[in-house]
Amino acid sequence: MRLLLSLLAFFLCVNTSSYAQNLFPDEIATTNDENESLPVEVLLEEAEQLFIEDRPLDARTKLLAVLKKDPENYRAHTLLSSYYLVHVGHFRLALKYIKKAMAVFKDERGPAPYTTLEDKLQHAHQLHLLSQARLNLDDYEGALSALEQYEKAGYYQDWYPGSKAWVLMKLGRLSDAIKVARLGLLSGGEQGRTLNILGILLSMTGDREQSLQVFKQAISYELSMGSMGQPATPLNNSGEVYREIFEEQNAEKFWSKAVTLPDGCEHILPSLNLAIVKLEKLDLKQASKSIDNFEACVAQYPLRNGEEHRALVHFARGRIALYAGQIDEAIDHFQKTLVRRQWFGKIGASVHDLSIAANLSLAESYDAKRNRLELSKTAGTLASVKSLWERNELQFKSWWLKRRARQILIEDLNDAEDVFVRHTDSVLDYSYLGYVFEEMDSKLVRKKIASIASKDKRSAAQVYYDSYLYLSGSSKSEKLSSLLQRTRPDYDAALQLRLLVHAAAETSRSSNNYRLLANKIFRLSPPALANAGLPLPVNLSTGDQNIEADLKKSAFLVSNSLKNEHIISHTFVDGEHTLKFFSRSGGGYKFTVRGGNFTDVINQLTHTVFRITLSS
């Protein structure tokens, strides 16, 4: 019966298209005046034809013309719902239209079950749209209810098991979801979609090896579908599993492949994941390029404005800007991330995942800005007072955001489940998480970390847990050198940076150890030093004795020593100060700034040295 229905649906669709093509072989009238003179049935057929011709705005105008003539036309409502769901991504409007369509349909044809094939197809399609609209609006219970009605009415199409398993997963019913997906694969469910969700479910239950096998099948299936296939999704998911098991080089391969495929920019996740893994390697330029490519790709779609991805794009850009020392840009991006609404129905992450990640990142940006202000020279009392006020304000904001993030982490994310390193779909910056626990009772932190670490069998993850204890000051037994030894040189670069910054902050600035740490940090990421409020030890070459005193409260620590890797030379000619920053070895960084006011010049040098320019 189900097969018969599917076949008939296929034929109906083909017949409708060919009918429309025969009926309107030439151009279809698209202006409102012309639409007014056409009967409803013709307008509906024309709208369907326009959708096929990829002219959705013209089709929308036709459908609105239908509703003007016949406000209770359920076909127009259904098509509009589909239009807003698929072409525009305006899920609220899609839901409104489908609700109206269903209400009108019920008034006209009575309640289900229906006897004619046409009614059955229409009703099944409406339930499908209803479940999709609800799912996209994060109403998982509602989506499941629509799917259950669909099943109860005896309808079946190959998308069904995948969709139901996904909704069950969003509701946290993992074992039910696995059953539905497995059953779906046996009963003719769409291979790509169902395998994909099964892979995700297996990964969530910790069976990552089998999950990778399933994704492999999904990728093969999607590739075999040619231009109809959507291999980017299972490729992205495979990458996520590889990242979870700390095989980032494989993850990178998969994501890089995913973003080059035609369907790779239908969603931001492959690009976002790629950017995050590049950030963990401190490869900022590649991270930035990944997001640039995504945005360039989205711009190809004329009706979408990328609003549904905007929050995540801002988030990624903010993190890149923060690492690059572009603090104001980072703050701007994170603020926009918090303001923009991101729908999570179609992706595994939840609104809380993004919320804590953005709150923490914004707090980190405020801290970085405050630290940088502390390293900036101020001219005059008023400027000093202003700077002091601003620093206190930033400190308060940062404290509040971290407090809020901790609340969400505990209350909305199941007792901080995201602390489990690289928890599925989390967008947290794991290298930063240790600082989040700073203000918590160390006994609680130890207890929590111990409970998570004991369940985590991944050896590469343990260094992260130990680092949290070290960074939060919850454990005195952890030693920097042993932690650094356990990190991997490439993919744990961000964690190494955090550990070094923390150690440098705890070390006396006059000590040799501080010099070593600061130079290491500078080599890894120059902005990180200024972001943490740590000055860079330098040798000063100048004929003016006052300059050394002027440099004291700046981002440079003058401590003339043969062990310093960097030198600042100062000259004052014709009322103009010139500061040159260069490496002792001659290579590496070389910057020169000039100006009449020494305070401005030194601030400009700080700005230049502790910032990475991303544009090539």
Partner 1 sequence: MIPRFASLTALALFRSFFLIIALLTLDTTFNLGTSITWLCTAAVAGSLAGTFFPIYSTSFRTFFVVLLAPYLLAHLLLFLDSALVTHRTVLAPHALLLHMNAVYFVFTIASVSTWLFWRYAFTTTAEIVLIIVALVSLFSNHRDYNLVDLPLFMSTLAWQLGTDIPSLLIMISTVGILLLTAYLLLATSPHRPLLFGQTRLRINHYLAKTNRVMSFTICLVTALTLAAISRHVLHTYNIQLADRGSNGVGMSGKSDKEAVGSSPLGFHSALGSNNQPAALVRLEGDYLENPFSPMLYLREGALSGFDGREMVQAEDGFDSDVPFTDINEQYLSDEDFELRGRIPIEHSVYLLADHKKQFAIDYPVSITPVKNPAPDRFKGAYKAQSIAPAFDRSDLNISTTGDPRWSNETLQHYLTPHPDPRYKELAEDLTLGLLSPAEKGAAIVDHLNKNAIYTLTPNHNVDEKSDPVAPFLFGDLRGYCVHFAHATVYMLRSLGIPARVATGYLTDLSQARDGHILLRMSDRHAWAEMYLTGRGWIPYDTQPEQVESHADTQVDMQLLEELMGLVGPEEELFSKELLEDEPGLQEPAADYFPDADYIFYLLGFFLFLLCATKCYLRHGWRLYSDPGARLRMSYRGLVTRLQDLGVARFAGETRTEYSSRIEALMRYPTLESLTEWYNTFKYHGDRALPLSVEHIDKAYHKSLEQLTAQLTLGQRIKATLNPMSVVSFLTGEGI
Binding of partner 1 by 567 (CB under 8 A): no
Are the beta carbons of 606 and 555 closer than 8 angstroms?
yes
Beta strands 576-583 and 590-595, pairing class: antiparallel
Tell me which residues in 410-439 interact with partner 1 (CB under 8 A): 410-411, 414-416
| CB of residue 192 to partner 1, shortest distance in Å | 27
Tell me which residues in 83-142 interact with partner 1 (CB under 8 A): 84, 88, 90-93, 95-96, 99-100, 103, 133-134, 136-139, 141-142
> In the complex with partner 1, which residue's Cβ is closer, 139 or 367?
139
The residues that bridge with 590 in the sheet, in sequence order, are: 582
> In the complex with partner 1, which residue's Cβ is closer, 416 or 495?
416
- What residue type is 616 in one-letter code? S
Element (H, E) at 327: helix 327-339
Contact stretch for partner 1 (CB under 8 A) within 51-59, 487-495, 566-574, 579-587: 51-59
Closest CA to 402 of 445, 446, 442, 366: 366
Binding of partner 1 by 455 (CB under 8 A): no
Scan for tokens 């046996």, then name that residue.
Answer: 186
In angstroms, rounded to a whole number, what is the distance separating the alpha carbons of residues 98 and 87?
Answer: 15
In angstroms, rounded to a whole number, what is the distance separating the alpha carbons of residues 234 and 364?
Answer: 33
In angstroms, rounded to a whole number, what is the distance separating the alpha carbons of residues 381 and 603?
Answer: 17
In angstroms, rounded to a whole number, what is the distance separating the alpha carbons of residues 522 and 589?
Answer: 11
Tell me which residues in 206-245 interact with partner 1 (CB under 8 A): none
Angle, CA 197 vertex, CA 192 and CA 201 arms, to 5°: 150
Binding of partner 1 by 57 (CB under 8 A): yes
Binding of partner 1 by 597 (CB under 8 A): no
| CB of residue 107 to partner 1, shortest distance in Å | 11
> In the complex with partner 1, which residue's Cβ is closer, 285 or 336?
336
> In the complex with partner 1, which residue's Cβ is closer, 277 or 445?
445
Indicate which single residue of 180, 408, 493, 558 sits in contact with partner 1 (rule: CB under 8 A). Answer: 408
Indicate which single residue of 30, 378, 571, 608 sits in contact with partner 1 (rule: CB under 8 A). Answer: 30
> In the complex with partner 1, which residue's Cβ is closer, 34 or 576?
34
Residue 442, token pair as written in the block: 């160390």
Please count the other Cβ atoms lying within 10 Å of the Cβ belonging to residue 501. 23
Phi/psi of residue 590, nearest 5 degrees = -145, 115
Element (H, E) at 531: helix 526-531
> In the complex with partner 1, which residue's Cβ is closer, 92 or 386?
92
Are the beta carbons of 560 and 540 closer than 8 angstroms?
yes
In angstroms, rounded to a whole number, what is the distance separating the alpha carbons of residues 352 and 311?
Answer: 13
In the shown chain, the binding pattern of residues 62 to 91 toward partner 1, with x for contact by CB under 8 A and - for none, equals: --x--xx--x-----x------x---x-xx
The residues that bridge with 460 in the sheet, in sequence order, are: none
Binding of partner 1 by 61 (CB under 8 A): yes
What is the distance of C-alpha 206 from the center of its chain?
A: 23
Q: What are the CA-CA distances from residue 129 to residues 353, 414, 599 (Å)?
A: 27, 31, 63
Q: What are the CA-CA distances from residue 473 to residues 401, 410, 483, 518 (Å)?
A: 20, 20, 14, 20
In the shown chain, the binding pattern of residues 489 to 528 toward partner 1, with x for contact by CB under 8 A and - for none, equals: ----------------------------------------
- What residue type is 532 in one-letter code? A
Q: Number of residues in contact with partner 1, rule: CB under 8 A?
A: 63
- What residue type is 590 in one-letter code? K
| CB of residue 163 to partner 1, shortest distance in Å | 16
Tell me which residues in 387-406 interact with partner 1 (CB under 8 A): 400, 403-404, 406
Binding of partner 1 by 296 (CB under 8 A): no
Q: What are the CA-CA distances from residue 75 to residues 81, 98, 147, 464, 599 (Å)?
A: 10, 10, 21, 55, 70
| CB of residue 257 to partner 1, shortest distance in Å | 26
Binding of partner 1 by 58 (CB under 8 A): yes
Are the beta carbons of 371 and 533 closer than 8 angstroms?
yes
Binding of partner 1 by 305 (CB under 8 A): yes
Indicate which single residue of 15, 18, 395, 407 sits in contact with partner 1 (rule: CB under 8 A). Answer: 407
> In the complex with partner 1, which residue's Cβ is closer, 439 or 490?
439
Closest CA to 449 of 459, 464, 460, 435: 464
> In the complex with partner 1, which residue's Cβ is closer, 71 or 110?
71
Binding of partner 1 by 32 (CB under 8 A): yes
DSSP line for 28-46:
PP-SHHHHHTS-HHHHHHH
Contact stretch for partner 1 (CB under 8 A) within 29-37, 112-120, 275-283, 564-572: 29-37
Tell me which residues in 325-384 interact with partner 1 (CB under 8 A): 336, 339-340, 351
Half-sphere exposure of 170 (CA within 13 A, CB side): 25
| CB of residue 359 to partner 1, shortest distance in Å | 10
Residue 237, token pair as written in the block: 């998911």
In angstroms, rounded to a whole number, what is the distance separating the alpha carbons of residues 434 and 521?
Answer: 18
Residue 45, token pair as written in the block: 């057929």
- What residue type is 440 in one-letter code? M
> In the complex with partner 1, which residue's Cβ is closer, 19 or 400?
400
| CB of residue 298 to partner 1, shortest distance in Å | 8
| CB of residue 522 to partner 1, shortest distance in Å | 30
Binding of partner 1 by 386 (CB under 8 A): no
Binding of partner 1 by 45 (CB under 8 A): no
| CB of residue 608 to partner 1, shortest distance in Å | 18
The residues that bridge with 572 in the sheet, in sequence order, are: 577
> In the complex with partner 1, which residue's Cβ is closer, 403 or 479?
403
Q: Indicate the DSSP class of residue 27.
A: P
> In the complex with partner 1, which residue's Cβ is closer, 340 or 502?
340
Indicate which single residue of 41, 108, 390, 441 sits in contact with partner 1 (rule: CB under 8 A). Answer: 441
Which residues here bind partner 1, judged by CB under 8 A?
30-32, 55-58, 60-61, 64, 67-68, 71, 77, 84, 88, 90-93, 95-96, 99-100, 103, 133-134, 136-139, 141-142, 299, 302-303, 305-307, 310, 336, 339-340, 351, 400, 403-404, 406-411, 414-416, 440-441, 443-444, 447-448, 451
